[in-house]
Amino acid sequence: MIQRLKHIWNRTSAHSAESFCIYICQLIFSLLIGLIFYYTVNDNLGQSMALEQLASGFDRTVIMDMINSNENVFSSVLSWVMTLTPIYLIVSTWLQGGLLFNIKKGEIGVISQLKNGIKYLIPFLGFALLSFVLIILLAAIIGLPFKSIIGDPLTTFSSEKPFVISLFILIAIFSVCIIGIWGLSISARYNYIEGAPFWKSIKLGLAFLKNHFFKVLSIGYLLIGIHLLLALIYYLLMGDRGAPSWLIVLFAILVQQLFSIARVFIRSFGYIALDQIDDEFIG
């Protein structure tokens, strides 16, 4: 198993250029939103005492008071976010599609990623939309009965323990469904890259998921576990430091970007692991 993991990581490293391209895309859109937020808030709230309070540490009450008392300012920022989000999703699907093509076809490089990503953009947007619809449907199918059964937790349960256990079971079921949809979506895209029509790609993806469900689940939980570990490490490094100096701000930015890069590589690792499932990656 260690050798298989090492082999998958070596393949992931071989696609470093494509992963960095995806990271740069994320960085550009994050900077755009960040700059819009900064200039909008600074122009309207630059002299607010609340900002000085936030400099010493995170305070949810202060933030909520700022939002409630300056709705027009934050509505402007939200409108920009709503405008940029669809553009980001399209560009992200383009770059992710190019990475999947390179992984499946054994090609390497950003030029191949950009060229083939645009070639598969429309069908891959279709796969992404289908995944989104499935997630919404599953959330309704699983969540609504849970809500009707649980009702008001304060009156339904005599203590918090049964509610916490029920919530944990709900999250576990939902996570299994999300991983299954993710595996289906990536498998369908690989099938499309191999030449299968759109709906046949989905049919083949379902067969793939049926035959390798527990392996897909293992990969999914492995990726979730790595992300949670990264989040824990980030929290231990940063905690609730606030921003008392520019050095702390620069350190926080550096750590955030390193973790952002790591998440992109983890996602690429997951794509390659799915591509190698038939080689018994896990189990």
Which has the minimum average pLDDT: 125-134, 187-196, 274-283?
274-283
Please write the tens of the pLDDT for every residue from 172-194: 999 999 999 999 999 999 999 99
* pLDDT attached to residue 2: 77
Are 129 and 168 in a shared domain? yes
Mean pLDDT to the nearest integer, 94-119: 94
Which has the minimum average pLDDT: 21-35, 56-70, 192-206, 221-235?
56-70
**Which position has the higher pLDDT, 245 or 214?**
214
Q: Distance (Å, rounded) from C-alpha 133 to C-alpha 199? A: 16
Coil, strand, or helix at residue 109?
A: coil
* pLDDT attached to residue 276: 86
pLDDT at 56 over 70: no
Are 243 and 205 in a shared domain? no
Task: Flag whether 150 is in a domain.
Answer: yes
Which has the minimum average pLDDT: 1-5, 193-197, 205-209, 247-251?
247-251
Which has the minimum average pLDDT: 111-125, 195-209, 238-252?
238-252
3-state secondary structure 149-196: HHCCHHHHCCCHHHHHHHHHHHHHHHHHHHHHHHHHHHHHHHHHHCCC
Are 177 and 192 in a shared domain? yes
Are 232 and 162 in a shared domain? no
pLDDT at 82 over 70: yes
Domain containing 164 equals 122-211
Are 158 and 137 in a shared domain? yes
Long-range contacts of residues 59-67, Cβ cutoff 8 Å, at least 24 apart? none
Residues 148, 149, 150, 151, Cα dihedral to 10°: 40
Task: Flag whether 154 is in a domain.
Answer: yes
Are 230 and 277 in a shared domain? yes
* pLDDT attached to residue 54: 54
Domain closes at, from 180, 211, 242: 211
* pLDDT attached to residue 283: 42
pLDDT at 243 over 80: no
Mean pLDDT to the nearest integer, 264-278: 89
Are 248 and 179 in a shared domain? no
* pLDDT attached to residue 6: 86
Report CA-CA distances (Å) from 125 to 19, 62, 120, 198, 208.
19, 39, 9, 11, 21
Task: Flag whether 107 is in a domain.
Answer: no
pLDDT at 60 over 90: no
Q: pTM, whole model, 2 decimals?
A: 0.82
Domain closes at, from 179, 211, 243: 211
Report CA-CA distances (Å) from 162 to 144, 156, 188.
18, 10, 39
Q: How many domains does the chain have?
A: 2
Contact 198, 140 (CB under 8 A): no
**Which position has the higher pLDDT, 241 or 9?**
9
pLDDT at 144 over 60: yes
**Which position has the higher pLDDT, 234 or 195?**
195
Percentage of the chain exceeding pLDDT 90: 47
Domain closes at, from 175, 194, 211: 211
CB atoms under 10 Å from CB of 215, counted, come to 20
Task: Flag whether 139 is in a domain.
Answer: yes
Task: Flag whether 41 is in a domain.
Answer: no
**Which position has the higher pLDDT, 200 or 157?**
200
* pLDDT attached to residue 77: 77
Are 183 and 256 in a shared domain? no
Mean pLDDT to the nearest integer, 55-70: 58
Please write the tens of the pLDDT for every residue from 147-167: 776 666 656 666 677 777 778
Task: Give 40's pLDDT tier (boundaries 50, 70, 90).
Answer: confident
Please write the tens of the pLDDT for every residue from 201-231: 999 999 999 999 999 999 999 999 998 998 8
